[in-house]
Structure 1
Amino acid sequence: MLEIQLNKSVGVICKVGRVFVKKGDIVHNDDVLFTVESRKTQTVIHANFEGKITGVNLVGGGAVKPETVIMTVDGKTANESKVLITNSR
């Protein structure tokens, strides 16, 4: 099981734009997960893992803080990311 978080290098609380995944979805490396807005810039967040989404703790229009678990995945890390942290549980 992986816990997915925004990296603390993001530095600020971000507004969640659109969430493209939901519980039960199968995600592949580099799939689009969601968008965030920070400092008037919108960023598309891509997966750096592969597996099945087991939980999503994001809603469009909500806020997300770095190092907060934003989703859980039954899968494996595919590569390093400057934006996402994947921790095995």
Structure 2
Amino acid sequence: MGKGWAVDGQLLGSQWAANGQPMGSWWAGCGQRVGSQWAANGQIMGSQWAASEQLLGSYWAANVHLVSSPWAANEQLRGKSLAT
């Protein structure tokens, strides 16, 4: 029984080792594929966000410039009227 268990243990151990390797490789492969997909999505999403931020930044900059121009003009006019 001792020998039987030892042999079974070795065979079982070998089987697990063999199964562990393919499964390990499969997981590693899946991890790489999923990782690549995430990396690609991250880049695309990052680019999309960057583009949105640039557009939003430009939009805000333009609006602030437009908003500040009438205010600046009004302040100058108001300043002149107060000075006079």
Please state which structure has a larger fraction of its residues in strand: 1
- Give the number of the structure with larger relative contact order, counting CA–CA contacts within 8 Å between residues 6 or more apart: 1
**Quick check: which has more Rg, 1 or 2?**
2
TM class, shorter-chain normalised?
under 0.3
TM-score by length of 1: 0.12
